[in-house]
Structure 1
Amino acid sequence: MAITDASLVALRVFRQVAERGTFTAAAAALGYTQSAVSRQIAALERAVGADLLERRHEGVRLTSAGQIVLRRAVAVAEQVDAAARELAGLPGAGGRVRLGWFTSAGAALVPRALSALRRTHPGVTVTSREASTPALIRALRAGSLDLAVIATEPPHRPPDTEAPPLRTRVLTDRSLMVAVPATHPLAGGSFVDVRDLRGQEWIAGQSAGNERLMGVWPGLDERPVIAHVARDWLAKLHLVAAGCGLTTIPPMLAGSVPDGVRVLPVRGGPEEGRRMTLAWVHDPLSPAAARLAEALQAAATGAVAEGERGPD
């Protein structure tokens, strides 16, 4: 058999498995049973004559053959979608961009960029969604996103090891800060010494897969006391304002904190840098995606400048 014998359904299922990382998640996204997903993948592997996925305890990983088939599956799906739009009399794909972003990027960067883009290029249509950085990278590879704003920590290795390498552009590269209640003893200075963070109570996020969410200062040499767990940035910062604990924060958000919160740099320990990066798969970007990339870069520059000035 050959890949030409593969069904369009099997290719779509394969894309979802590659993006979601597990058969279970792909089945949920498609509204299928897990056994139906397994059958489609098995049929595709028979058609190709090669294993496309490595089954692991934590999920699946594409084989070399799987990477080739995924690239072809993305191309086929894009052609089918373009034909459907043309038949329906809808605008072409040139003005549409699919954007993914990790949590804190959605709190300041993405709304600012989309607002500016609507003013300068109202014909560009953007759809977006939040996910963890690993999930965003899988979605880029699966062709479900055109651009993704991802987060990296030092030493800032490439986002993944697949070929071709992802194209990237650094949006911001700054050190973490700490948000403290305005009534807290640490709020009176212009910075916080890392030693003074020992013994504090923290408002932290739950881990998501192999991605750590912000909350506890990373360089602490003790087991932290986590008083509250929240993924949402607004919830974290209002808990800080209520005096419920401290949390880490990227400089970009420092200008958007509620009343009752002070945001301060931390000194006396290793620098805890965090990089926000725009990633995509292929050059050149479409005109619409290039305009969105420019808006994201401008928004990142402006938001960091405001954050470093702090709230009024």
Structure 2
Amino acid sequence: MAITDASLVALRVFREVAERGTFTAAAVALGYTQSAVSRQIATLERAVGADLLERRHEGVRLTTAGQIVLRRAVAVAEQVEAAARELAGLPGAGGRVRLGWFTSAGTGLVPQALAELRRTHPAVTVTSREGSTPALIRALRAGSVDLAVIATEPPHRPPDTDGPPLRTRVLTDRSLMVAVPATHPLAGGSFVDVADLRGQEWIGGHSSGGERLMGVWPGLDERPVVAHVARDWLAKLHLVAAGCGLTTIPPVLAGMVPAGVRVLPVRGGPDEGRRMTLAWLYDPLPAPAARLAEALEAAAATGS
């Protein structure tokens, strides 16, 4: 067999596995059984004559051959989608941009950028989706999004180690803050000393991209007391307002807290910087994507 024998279905399934990171997640997204996904991948690997994926306990990783096939699968999918739009009489892809963003960016930065883009370039059509940073990086590699707003923490390494390297542009680089009830003793100052965070009760949650605990100040030299767990930022902040505990908060959300919450910087200990970064795969960016990138940079510069 040869790669020319590969079916569009197999290429589509492979692209979904590469983006989702596991056979199970790809099967759910496609409405297939996991065994059907496995059969399609096995068929494609036989056609190519090489392993495309490294199977690991935590999911899959593209091999070198897999990276090559993925690039071609993305190109094929884009051509098929363009043909479908043309047949349906829809606008060409030149005016479309697909944006991915991590949760915090969707509260202020992304809506502001999209509003400005609609004002300055109304012909550009943007579709967007939320995801964890690892999921968004996979989506960039799989060609499912054109731009992604991702989050990084010190030491701010490259987003991944695959090739070609992702292009990146820093949007904001600020320090993590802490949200405290307005009635809390710590709320009276202009900052919180890191030592005063010991012994506090926390409102935490697990990130959508894994089981890493969010909401608790990093690096505490004690086992934190997590009194409440919530994924949703608004829920966590309303629990803070109700006096149920403290939570960490990225600077992008500082201006959007409900009444009864104070957001304060933390002094002492290592700086807990949080960086919002715009990432994409290839230069130069097409004109519509470049216009959106400019709008995101402008929104970031205003402090959103």
TM-score tier by shorter-chain length is over 0.9
Q: CA deviation at 1:124?
A: 1.2
Within a 5 Å distance, the mapping from 1:108-147 to structure 2 comes to: 108-147=108-147
Does the aligned pair in 2 maintain the 1:193–1:268 contact within 8 Å? yes
Name the SS of the counterpart of 2:138 in structure 1: helix
Name the SS of the counterpart of 1:126 in structure 2: strand
CA distance in 1, matches of 2:235, 2:299: 23
CA distance in 2, matches of 1:272, 1:38: 42
Does the aligned pair in 2 maintain the 1:219–1:272 contact within 8 Å? no
Residue 245 of structure 2 is aligned to residue 245 of structure 1 = yes
Q: CA deviation at 1:258?
A: 0.9
Structure 2 equivalent of residue 308 of structure 1: none
CA distance in 2, matches of 1:203, 1:298: 32
Structure 1 equivalent of residue 93 of structure 2: 93
Does the aligned pair in 2 maintain the 1:108–1:303 contact within 8 Å? no
State the one-letter code of the partner of 2:174: R
Does the aligned pair in 2 maintain the 1:134–1:211 contact within 8 Å? no
Structure 2 equivalent of residue 280 of structure 1: 280
Name the SS of the counterpart of 2:214 in structure 1: coil
Structure 2 equivalent of residue 164 of structure 1: 164
CA distance in 1, matches of 2:223, 2:235: 23
Q: CA deviation at 1:295?
A: 0.8
CA distance in 1, matches of 2:119, 2:80: 32
Tell me the alpha carbon deviations over residues 44-99 of structure 1, each in whole angstroms, 9 at most, x when there is no partner.
00100001011111111111100000001001111111111111111001111111
Does the aligned pair in 1 maintain the 2:97–2:124 contact within 8 Å? yes
CA distance in 2, matches of 1:208, 1:91: 34
Tell me the alpha carbon deviations over residues 164-207 of structure 1, each in whole angstroms, 9 at most, x when there is no partner.
10000000111111110100000000100000000001111114
CA distance in 1, matches of 2:115, 2:280: 22
Residue 254 of structure 2 is aligned to residue 226 of structure 1 = no
RMSD (CA atoms): 1.1
CA distance in 1, matches of 2:89, 2:224: 57
Structure 1 equivalent of residue 174 of structure 2: 174
**Number of matched pairs:** 304
Residue 47 of structure 2 is aligned to residue 47 of structure 1 = yes
Name the SS of the counterpart of 2:220 in structure 1: coil
Structure 1 equivalent of residue 71 of structure 2: 71
Does the aligned pair in 2 maintain the 1:133–1:211 contact within 8 Å? no
Structure 2 equivalent of residue 59 of structure 1: 59
Does the aligned pair in 2 maintain the 1:132–1:211 contact within 8 Å? no
Structure 2 equivalent of residue 84 of structure 1: 84
CA distance in 2, matches of 1:9, 1:180: 51
Structure 2 equivalent of residue 107 of structure 1: 107
Name the SS of the counterpart of 2:303 in structure 1: helix
Does the aligned pair in 1 maintain the 2:131–2:208 contact within 8 Å? no
State the one-letter code of the partner of 1:205: G
Structure 1 equivalent of residue 187 of structure 2: 187
Does the aligned pair in 2 maintain the 1:113–1:295 contact within 8 Å? yes
Residue 32 of structure 2 is aligned to residue 26 of structure 1 = no
Name the SS of the counterpart of 1:55 in structure 2: strand
Q: CA deviation at 1:211?
A: 6.7
Tell me the alpha carbon deviations over residues 244-276 of structure 1, each in whole angstroms, 9 at most, x when there is no partner.
111111112111111111111100111101111
CA distance in 2, matches of 1:62, 1:251: 35
State the one-letter code of the partner of 1:134: P
CA distance in 1, matches of 2:148, 2:75: 19
Name the SS of the counterpart of 2:302 in structure 1: helix
Residue 257 of structure 2 is aligned to residue 257 of structure 1 = yes
CA distance in 1, matches of 2:122, 2:148: 21
Does the aligned pair in 1 maintain the 2:147–2:279 contact within 8 Å? yes
Moved over 3 A (4+): 207-214
CA distance in 2, matches of 1:214, 1:120: 37
Does the aligned pair in 2 maintain the 1:101–1:136 contact within 8 Å? yes
When structure 1 is superposed on structure 2, of 75-84 and 213-222 the one drifting more is 213-222
Does the aligned pair in 2 maintain the 1:147–1:280 contact within 8 Å? yes
Q: CA deviation at 1:213?
A: 5.4
CA distance in 2, matches of 1:236, 1:105: 16
